[in-house]
Amino acid sequence: MIPISQVRVSGVQERAVVEVLRSGQLAMGQRTAALEARFQALLGGAHCVAVANGTVGLTLAMVAAGVRRGSEVVTTAFSFIGTIEPVVQLGATPVFVDVEERTGNIDVSRVEAAMSERTAAIVPVHLYGRPAPMADLREVAGRWGVPVIEDACQAMGARHADGTMVGASGIAAFSFYGSKNITCGEGGLVTTTDPELAERVRLLRNHGSVAAYEHQAVGYNGRMTDMQAALLGPEVDRVEAVTRGRRDHARRYEERVDNPAIEKPPWVDADGSCWHQYTVRTRSEGERRQLQSWAEEQGVESRVYYPAALSALPVVRRLGSARTCPTAEHLARTVLSVPVRESLLPEEVERVAAMLERWRPAP
Ligand X SMILES: Cc1ncc(COP(=O)(O)O)c(C=O)c1O
**Which of 39, 78, 80, 96: binder of ligand X (CB under 6 A)?**
80
Provide Rg for the chain, Cα atoms. 20
Residue 311 near residue 95, CB atoms below 8 Å: no
CA distance 106 to 83: 13
Using CA atoms, how far apart are residues 61 and 54, in angstroms rounded to an integer? 10
Write the DSSP symbol of residue 100.
-
Instruction: Determine the Cα–Cα distance for residues 142 and 283; give it in Å rounded to an integer.
Output: 38
The residues, any chain, with a CB within 8 Å of residue 169's CB and separated by 6 or more, are: 46, 193
SS3 64: helix
Query: Least distance to ligand X from the beta carbon of 37, Å?
Result: 21
* Residue 82 or 167 having the CB closest to ligand X: 82
CB of 153 to ligand X, least distance (A): 3
Burial class (CB in 10 A: 0-12, 13-18, 19+), 8: exposed
Binding pattern for the stretch 81-100 against ligand X, x by CB under 6 A and - elsewhere? -xx-----------------
Closer residue to ligand X (CB): 151 or 329: 151
Only one of the segments 31-39, 147-155, 293-301, 354-362 lies at the binding site for ligand X (rule: CB under 6 A); that segment is 147-155
Binders in 95-134 for ligand X, by CB under 6 A: 125
Nearest Cα to Cα of residue 156 among 91, 236, 76: 236
- The total of other beta-carbon atoms located within 10 Å of residue 42's CB is 20
Which C-beta is closer to ligand X: that of 104 or that of 353? 104
Nearer to ligand X, 79 or 327 (CB): 79
Q: How far apart are CA 36 and CA 18, in angstroms?
A: 20
Binders in 47-76 for ligand X, by CB under 6 A:
53-55
CB of residue 188 vs ligand X: minimum separation in angstroms? 5
Which CB atom, from 170 or from 188, has the smaller least distance to ligand X? 188
Tell me which of 188, 219, 245, 339 binds ligand X, using CB under 6 A: 188
For ligand X, the closer CB: 99 or 353: 99
Question: Smallest distance, Å, CB 115 to ligand X?
Answer: 22
| Contacts (Cβ under 8 Å, ≥6 apart) of 91 | 68, 69, 70
Among 75, 76, 175, 311, binds ligand X (CB under 6 A): 175
Among 71, 79, 105, 181, binds ligand X (CB under 6 A): 79
In the beta sheet, which residues pair with residue 48?
A: 191
Q: Does 337 bind ligand X (CB under 6 A)?
A: no
Q: Binders of ligand X: how many residues, by CB under 6 A?
A: 14
Min dist. Cβ of residue 173 to ligand X (A): 8
**Measured between alpha carbons, how far is residue 147 from residues 71, 124, 168, 197, 329 in Å?**
13, 11, 15, 11, 27
Site for ligand X in 279-318 (CB under 6 A): none
Q: Site residues (CB under 6 A) for ligand X?
A: 53-55, 79-80, 82-83, 125, 151, 153-154, 175, 177, 188
